[in-house]
Amino acid sequence: MSTGLIQPKLIIHGGAGSSLKGKAGADAVRRSLYAVITEVYELLLAGTDAKSAVIRGCQLLEDDPRFNAGTGSVLQSDGQIRMSASLMDGTQQRFSGVINVSRVKNPIELAEFLQTSDDRVLSDIGALELMRELQLPYYDPLTKIRLQEWILEREGNFDKAMAGVVAERELVSEAGRGTIGVVVLDSHGRLATGTSTGGKGFERIGRVSDSAMPAGNYANAHAAISCTGIGEDIIEECLAARIVVRVTDGMPLLKAFECSFQEAHSRKRDFGAIGIAADGTIAWGKTSEVLLAAYHDGEKMGDTLEMGPGTQTQCRVSLV
């Protein structure tokens, strides 16, 4: 007798940007990503639902100072850290998020609480009040290397547009556009996605990231997408929602990626995205030089770190 269960699928990312510096850089990022894949996929095999698995994956990535989210977030132009995150439950098609929150360890946990709130997206002051309501301890996500990075940029009058997506500068060459994201299809066929970021670094105070918008993080019963890259480019393409709508209208996930990224390339956009469809297809795409992503397709782990430069979309087809 069939149990009706399917093989879960998982894909995560740690940002997009320019080239990793050789094999050492790729190996360091791969270790971090694979550790998260291993823990979260074991939870999925044990029956954890998609939304809970996404939250756990985001927590782990936010806690890794290698990535620009949670601990290790970049500083804005005034030397402060302001983070944004969102969570979307595809089964309920419910979105929640926080914008420019400070002094919290895991912004995704605030987004989690807001899933059951009448007010689903809060900005800085509202998020701070929510932290107090939930009695979350204050936490400083600043790392020494991010402070040193900001001091160097200040001395140069902030003439660089982006911060490093990966904190260890010896591993990455100008790899900006840092964000983390997790997309899950659980054993019951439920989809969810979460995205979290420290921002692009050195930005104007009050700038809002795509990570707390449906443009950068979107899911329904048909597909789930998390984006990374230049937030303004992602917003102008409404990238995550655009891909999900195309899948909902009957387009295969990879084709939806290809169409969306071809359109974006013609407008010289700079970003990446990962996604899963309800049929079990896992896909990813980028216009940036590097997409730091890894996945578990139900059989084995893999990653996108060896993708060449230029606009590319790829998928792993492992039907449910």
pLDDT at site 22: 67
pLDDT at site 167: 46
In a domain, 146, yes or no: yes
Work out the average pLDDT over 35-50: 98
In a domain, 2, yes or no: no
94 is in an annotated binding site: no
303 is in an annotated binding site: no
Proportion of the chain above pLDDT 90, given as a percent: 78
290 is in an annotated binding site: no
In a domain, 151, yes or no: yes
> pLDDT digit string (tens) for 48-93?
999 999 999 999 999 999 999 999 999 999 999 999 999 999 999 9
| Domains contained in the chain, number | 1
In a domain, 157, yes or no: yes
pLDDT-based confidence at 289, cuts 50/70/90? confident
In a domain, 35, yes or no: yes
Q: Report the DSSP beta bridge partners of residue 290.
A: 17
In a domain, 82, yes or no: yes
Q: Is 179 in the active site?
A: yes
pLDDT at site 18: 64
Work out the average pLDDT over 183-194: 98
pLDDT-based confidence at 175, cuts 50/70/90? very low
Look at residue 101 and tell me whether its pLDDT is greater than 80: yes
> pLDDT digit string (tens) for 225-235?
999 999 999 99
231 is in an annotated binding site: yes
pLDDT at site 174: 39
Q: Which residue has the higher pLDDT, 128 or 177?
A: 128
> pLDDT digit string (tens) for 197-222?
999 999 999 999 999 999 999 999 99
Q: Which residue has the higher pLDDT, 79 or 3?
A: 79
Question: Which of these, 79, 75, 144, 134, lies nearest to 107 by C-alpha position?
Answer: 134
Q: From the candidates 3, 38, 91, 179, give the one annotated as an active-site residue.
A: 179
3 is in an annotated binding site: no
Q: Report the DSSP beta bridge partners of residue 217.
A: 226
In a domain, 199, yes or no: yes
Look at residue 173 and tell me whether its pLDDT is greater than 60: no
In a domain, 211, yes or no: yes
298 is in an annotated binding site: no
- Of the ranges 38-42, 160-164, 198-202, which one carries the lowest mean pLDDT score? 160-164
> pLDDT digit string (tens) for 240-253?
999 999 999 999 99
CATH of the domain at 296: 3.60.20.30
pLDDT at site 4: 79
Task: Write out the residue range of the structural domain in which residue 110 sits.
Answer: 9-316
Look at residue 168 and tell me whether its pLDDT is greater than 90: no
